[in-house]
Amino acid sequence: MSESVHTVATLPTARQPGCPFDPPAELTDARRHGPISRYPFPDGHEGWLITGYDLVRSVLADSRFSSRKELMFHHPLIDYTGVEVPPAAPGEFLLMDEPQHGRYRKPLVGKFTVRRMRQLTERVEQITAEHLDAMEKAGPPTDLVTAFATPIPAIMICELLGVPYEDRGYFQKQVESFMSGETSDEDLMAAYTATQTYLAELVAAKRANPTDDVLSDLTDSDLSDEELRGMSLILLAAGLDTTANMLALGTFALLRNPAQLAALRVDPTLADQAVEELLRYLSVAKTFMRTALEDVELGGQTIEAGTAVILSYNTANRDPERFADPQVLDLRRQDGGHLAFGHGIHQCLGQQLARVEMRVAFPALVNRFPTLRLAVAPEEVGLRPETADIYGVKSLPVTWDV
């Protein structure tokens, strides 16, 4: 017998004015009622919303909850009535369960180890320094998103995959189109198709002339061209936008917390901890979905087979039962274990790369420009809507003394 449970009527499409770093108030309020709420999807499906840390983590570790794309036919904010969601294309392993998921993830794991990514530190330092030099040369003001936050992860992921330098602008534009949360369905489809076509050509080129990169390495396996294309798409979609938004939104958060920013500037040993805290505090990958494959008892409720579950990573990372003063950005925080990279079989494959990029980029930025500040009022900084998969700022106008 299920206990009585709170219901969230609709999910918000924007955050509270003046609170750009906090999860939407409706979600925090839901967590106060308990870690699990009912959520009526716009298509009428009676689903669930999980906002508490322990329950989110336990669902992520539970193989009775599926990530299969064809089971995700309810959208938390959009009425999908009548829409048939096809299974994930070969290689798109983020949207698969075992054993299909493992077939694609396993050959990639060795390419993203802590050791492999540490070896890239020098390259990240070099790219970061080049972009800071360019900012200094052009002078203030500038948009930190285009001058710094987007190009650094874009160059790293393109180099890892072996996307030629001259194609990067085109590439970033397509990915930006399907991540912004403001693209029409038609443009979304066009960007997706253009990216697919481009990646198919890239895979063929690597097969014909392998170079020193992850994609070329993978052509020496039993994976088909179609599978390699799908894997590349997932890596790009997951690796470009996430880190870029962490860098830009993270800088915004540091500028709004000057004592924390100053601590990071004077203490280089703080970088690793600071990055973990920014990941927790901002949780840019804010919600993911799962579908129950069988009836599951969870938090005093029965989640029936076939029911959709929204996992709110950002409220889980602000759960006071897990983190002391969770609403405070404290770069010296000791209680780790955030869920910003997820948990379980789909836990972020690129997390070590993202960490290296952020550990280099944040301290380098705040040290190069000690007087860095917003060039507009904080409330004028444009934020992404909640319809975007990844949260962040649209642009971040900054200035500094010369």
**# residues near ligand HEM by CB under 6 A:** 24
Q: Out of 353, 356, 366, 388, which residue is the one contacting ligand HEM (CB under 6 A)? A: 353
Q: Is 243 in the site for ligand HEM (CB under 6 A)?
A: yes
Q: Out of 24, 35, 91, 350, which residue is the one contacting ligand HEM (CB under 6 A)? A: 350
Binding mask 179-218 for ligand HEM (x = CB under 6 A): ----------------------------------------
Report whether 195 contacts 175 (CB < 8 A): yes
Of the pair 18, 99, the CB lying nearest ligand HEM is at 99
Q: Is 349 in the site for ligand HEM (CB under 6 A)?
A: yes
Count of CB atoms situated within 10 Å of the CB of 263: 16
User: Shortest distance, CB of residue 1 to ligand HEM, whole angstroms?
Assistant: 31
Q: Is 27 in the site for ligand HEM (CB under 6 A)?
A: no
**Cα–Cα distance list, 196 to 181, 210, 236 (Å):** 19, 20, 11
In the chain, how many H helices and how many E strands?
A: 15, 10
Q: What is the distance between the alpha carbons of residues 326 and 319, in angstroms, rounded to a whole number?
A: 6
Q: How is the beta sheet containing 142-143 ordered, strand by strand?
A: 142-143, 397-399, 373-374
Of the pair 6, 64, the CB lying nearest ligand HEM is at 64
Of the pair 168, 373, the CB lying nearest ligand HEM is at 168
Beta-bridge partner residues of 399: 373
Residue 164 CB partners (closer than 8 Å, separation 6+): none
Q: Which amino acid is at 34?
A: G
Nearest to 350, CA basis, from 211, 358, 251: 358
Q: Out of 31, 346, 359, 384, which residue is the one contacting ligand HEM (CB under 6 A)? A: 346
Q: What is the distance between the alpha carbons of residues 84 and 170, in angstroms, rounded to a whole number?
A: 30
Count of CB atoms situated within 10 Å of the CB of 25: 12
Which among 14-22, 39-47, 261-269, 346-354 is the span making contact with ligand HEM, rule CB under 6 A? Answer: 346-354
Q: Out of 235, 292, 310, 360, which residue is the one contacting ligand HEM (CB under 6 A)? A: 235
Binding mask 99-128 for ligand HEM (x = CB under 6 A): ------x-----------------------
**Helix ranges restricted to H, 283-387:** 313-316, 351-368
Strands 397-399 and 373-374, by their bridges, are antiparallel
Please report where in the chains the tokens 């890892």 appear, as a residue: 160
Q: What is the distance between the alpha carbons of residues 64 and 59, in angstroms, rounded to a whole number?
A: 8
Q: Is 232 in the site for ligand HEM (CB under 6 A)?
A: no
Q: Is 242 in the site for ligand HEM (CB under 6 A)?
A: yes
Q: Out of 284, 296, 381, 398, which residue is the one contacting ligand HEM (CB under 6 A)? A: 284
Q: Is 234 in the site for ligand HEM (CB under 6 A)?
A: yes
Q: Which residues bind ligand HEM (CB under 6 A)?
A: 67, 93-94, 105, 157, 234-235, 238-239, 242-243, 246, 284-285, 288, 340-342, 346, 348-350, 353-354
